[in-house]
Every structure is written in C-alpha cells, then in structure tokens.
Amino acid sequence: MYASRYPVISMEEAWEQVAAAIHRLPIVTRPLDALLGHVLAEDVTASENMPPFPASAMDGYAVVAADQAEERLVIGEQDAGLRQPFHVQPGTAVRIMTGAPLPDGADAVVPFEQATERDGHVRVPATVAAGAYVRPAGQDIAVGNLVLAAGTLLGAPEIGLLATVGRTEALVYSQPTVAVIATGDELVSPGQTPGPGQIRDSNSYALAAAVRTLGYPALRIGPVPDTEQALREAIREAAAQADMVLTSGGVSMGTRDLIKPILEELGTVHFGRVAIKPGKPLTFATLQGVPMFGLPGFPVSSLVCFEMFVRPALRLMAGYRRIWRPEQRVRLSHAVRHTPDRAEFQRAVVTQRDGEYWAETTGNQVSGRLLSLVGANALLKIPAGVDDVAAGESVIAILIDQPEAG
Ligand code: AMP
Ligand code: MG
C-alpha cells in the first residue's frame, strides 16, 4: 500500500491556508459600459443633489397651494428641460410636465387628472397640500451622501447611480481569468465515441461553467494525458495566462496521479488532503503567486470542491466582502448514513413546509454521480465526529442557490 506524504487537514485549516495565499486582483479604472459584474473598489459620494432642483412628479399644473381662487389663469407651460422665467402668484398656474423644474412662487402640483382647463383657466380641488407632487431638490440623493460603498457588486441599479452622479468610470477590482485543465489518459472529448476503457471529459466543461456562473472568463484546456511532460507543460502555460488554475483528476493515490509531484516542482503545495467527503485528495498550491487547485477527478467531487473552496477564493480575488453562502438549519426527511472520519457534503433539495425547512437528499451520493447535483439547492453538512443521522434530526444546509450573504 502507498502512503501519502500529505496529512489530512480539517476543512477550516485548509480554508485558512487558501485565504492566506489569495490576494485581491489589481484595481483598475473601467468605463460605465464595462462595469457590470465588477466589485467597486472606491466609495462613491454625490457632489450634487438629485433631483438638482424642485421638480414636478406629475404632468399637471404648478400652483400656490394656499391660493383660494376658484379658477386660475394659466400663464404658460413649463416642459422638462429648459427652465422658463415664470412666476406663479395667487390666481395663476403654469402647466407643467413630469421632471420639469417647479416655477418660482409655486409650491405644489395638481395632476391633470384632478384639474379641468377651459378657455385658458384651470379649476383645481378646493384644498391643495403644499409640496404635493413636488420632488424636493436632493430627495433621491443629497450632496455628500455615500451613494455606493467599496465592496459593492455593480449591477443595474448601481451602474445607474454612477451615471446619475456624473461618473463616466469607476475603480473596480479586476476579474479573475481561470484556466481549467482536464487530466487523464482515459478521457476523450464529448464529441468522440469512447474506446475500450475510455470515458468522456465532463469536468472541464462543468468547471468552466461554474467559473462562468460567477461572470468570469474560463479557458478550457485538455484533456491532457497522464504524462509528466504533458501535465507540466499544460500547468505552466495555464499559470502564465490565468489568474487561477484548476486541474481535475490526478491527485489521488494511483501511480498515474502526477499532479502533486509536478506542483511541488513548479511551486509550493500548501495542502494535499482535506477531511471532506467528497474531495479528500483536494490539493492547493501556488505557482509564482498564481493560486492553483488540484481538484479530484470524480465529477461530483470536483464541483463540490469548487463550491466550497474555489468559488469563495475567486470572490476574494474579485474584491467581494461576502464570500459564503447562507446556511439554514434543516430537518432530515429520512435517515442519512455517515462515517465520522470526515465532514460530508450531501446534495439535497431543501423545501419549506409548515414554517420548517426539510431536506431530502438527491438519491445515491457516490462521487461519480453528477445526477446527484442536478436540481440540488443545498449541500447538507454532516460534520466530522458524527455518526448516522436519524430522520427528523436537524443538520446545517448550505444553500447553494442563494447569493453569498456572509
Ligand atoms: P483520478 O483522480 O484521476 O483517478 O480520477 C478519479 C475518477 O474521476 C476516475 O474515475 C476518472 O475517470 C474520473 N475523471 C477524471 N477526470 C474526469 C473528467 N475530466 N471528466 C469526467 N470524469 C473524470
Ligand atoms: Mg486520472
């Protein structure tokens, strides 16, 4: 029997080592149209009010609220855009459009729906509240307001706000480019018919998709055969092009599992085994500062390790402050078998019933069965040190369909 030279460390210890080796990517200036999906690297404050002037919130008439006149002379029209030199006094009104500046003297707007205009005069309701349908200057944003804080993910409203305060560009963290290498002599591409002993490469596609789900570019490489030279070349090239490298396969105990020795040669291996199921052979290294995960070959193992390690690491690089999915205590609909030697992540569907959360695992949980991830919205965490868990007992579920909250 072969012995591994790598101690099996806890998941927490493994994450600490990843976090210590990961750095935020450089801050860059990007134009408004290219900001989507980036994390803001500066605080943005408003230097102007929004709206910049008292503005009408409706199409209608600008009036003096306290005016008691039954009919008011319409002295003109104020459209959105150029401000007209009107002065509204008791007995007069100005026709006004949504977004137009409120004329001097006026302090309220009566919507068209509540007014009748005939022969140049308008009738409005007997009582009009001062300030009605007027958006005061600075109602949306006041001068000096912190509009967006560093660390905010830029989506549609955030980009709209930047435009509102007059920003044409912003400082953001760069987004990581990730190289994904499939390794294994047995692998052929999906379009090929596997020969005897061969299977199709699914990991490079699944992992690239997992990277792209975060909005980051993925370079898919391979399948690379299990020879030292081919693997060394592929990894070296990938590390030169990408901000992070992922390999799948070649990290377990077989004689053709060559990734770890190659990483020792090219850089520093921080850990080579973790007490998790699936994913025990998970390996983490840095190659001249480029972080590199050696993910296990079994399709479920590689995706679960991606979720638990790679995704939070990528978010750290991209400047996010929140990197962890929300967790929820859930009750088990059925008993779950578990051996206490390591923490296990079982794929499950969590649903809410009568104010309680219930979890049902997605069938056979072997590490090769990708179908166990299809439709799963949670990973049930069965901690190390715990035996089988009975139906009705509760465990922690990591909600993998929810945005990171912590
Ligand atoms: P390994 O760790 O290289 O021994 O791989 C473990 C298992 O995962 C083996 O059954 C491999 O055939 C399988 N495997 C490795 N790489 C891939 C891949 N890219 N796509 C699908 N299965 C894979
Ligand atoms: Mg292999």
Q: Which two tokens stand for residue 283?
A: 């390996």
Residues 104 and 152 in one domain: no
Give the ligand whose atoms come closest to the C-alpha of residue 282. Answer: 1
What's the pLDDT tens digit per position in 119-156? 999 999 999 999 999 999 999 999 999 999 999 999 99
Report d(CA 204, CA 201) in Å as an integer. Answer: 7
Q: How far is the CA of 268 from the centre of ligand 1 (A)?
A: 24
Residues 160 and 211 in one domain: no
Residue 1: pLDDT above 90?
no
Q: pTM of the entire structure?
A: 0.93
Nearest to 380 by CA among 315, 325, 310, 309: 325
Note down the domain range covering 90. Answer: 55-135
Q: How far is the CA of 181 from the centre of ligand 1 (A)?
A: 12
Residues constituting the chain: 406
Number of domains in the chain: 4
Which residue is closest in CA terms to ligand 1's atom 11?
297
Neighbour count for residue 95 (Cβ, 10 Å) = 19
Q: Which two tokens stand for residue 84?
A: 């007209």
Residues 239 and 123 in one domain: no
Domain boundary among 317, 344, 363: 317
Q: Is residue 220 part of a domain?
A: yes
Of all residues in the chain, the percent with pLDDT exceeding 70 is 100
Residues 266 and 386 in one domain: no
Residues 284 and 200 in one domain: yes
Give the ligand whose atoms come closest to the C-alpha of residue 298. Answer: 1
- Residue 309: strand pairing partners: none
Q: How far is the CA of 284 from the centre of ligand 2 (A)?
A: 17
pLDDT at 256: 85
What's the pLDDT tens digit per position in 301-327? 999 999 999 999 999 999 999 999 999
Residue 2: pLDDT above 80?
no
Q: Indicate the range of 16-20, 92-96, 369-373 predicted with least confidence.
A: 369-373
Report d(CA 363, CA 347) in Å as an integer. Answer: 9
Residue 172: pLDDT above 70?
yes
Residue 391: pLDDT above 80?
yes
Residue 240: pLDDT above 70?
yes
Q: Is 5 exposed, middle or buried (0-12, 13-18, 19+ CB in 10 A)?
A: exposed
Residues 223 and 183 in one domain: yes
Residues 67 and 154 in one domain: no
Residue 79: pLDDT above 80?
yes
Q: Is 199 in the pocket of ligand 1 (CB under 6 A)?
A: yes
Q: How far is the CA of 48 from the centre of ligand 2 (A)?
A: 60
Give the ligand whose atoms come closest to the C-alpha of residue 303. Answer: 1
Neighbour count for residue 229 (Cβ, 10 Å) = 9
What is the pLDDT averaged over residues 39-61? 97
Q: Is 201 in the pocket of ligand 1 (CB under 6 A)?
A: yes
Residues 109 and 182 in one domain: no
What is the pLDDT averaged over residues 337-344? 93
Q: Is residue 404 part of a domain?
A: no
Q: What is the CATH number for 377?
A: 2.40.340.10
Of all residues in the chain, the percent with pLDDT exceeding 90 is 96
Three-state DSSP class for 154? coil
Q: Is residue 4 part of a domain?
A: no
Q: How far is the CA of 239 from the centre of ligand 2 (A)?
A: 20
Q: Which two tokens stand for residue 34?
A: 């290219």
Residues 128 and 181 in one domain: no
Report d(CA 208, CA 213) in Å as an integer. Answer: 9
Residues 35 and 167 in one domain: yes
Q: At 405, which amino acid appears?
A: A
What's the pLDDT tens digit per position in 181-233? 999 999 999 999 999 999 999 999 999 999 999 999 999 999 999 999 999 99
User: Is the separation of the CB atoms in 55 and 102 below 8 Å?
Assistant: yes
What's the pLDDT tens digit per position in 246-287? 999 999 988 888 999 999 999 999 999 999 999 999 999 999
Q: Is residue 83 part of a domain?
A: yes
Residue 332: pLDDT above 90?
yes
Q: Is 279 in the pocket of ligand 1 (CB under 6 A)?
A: no
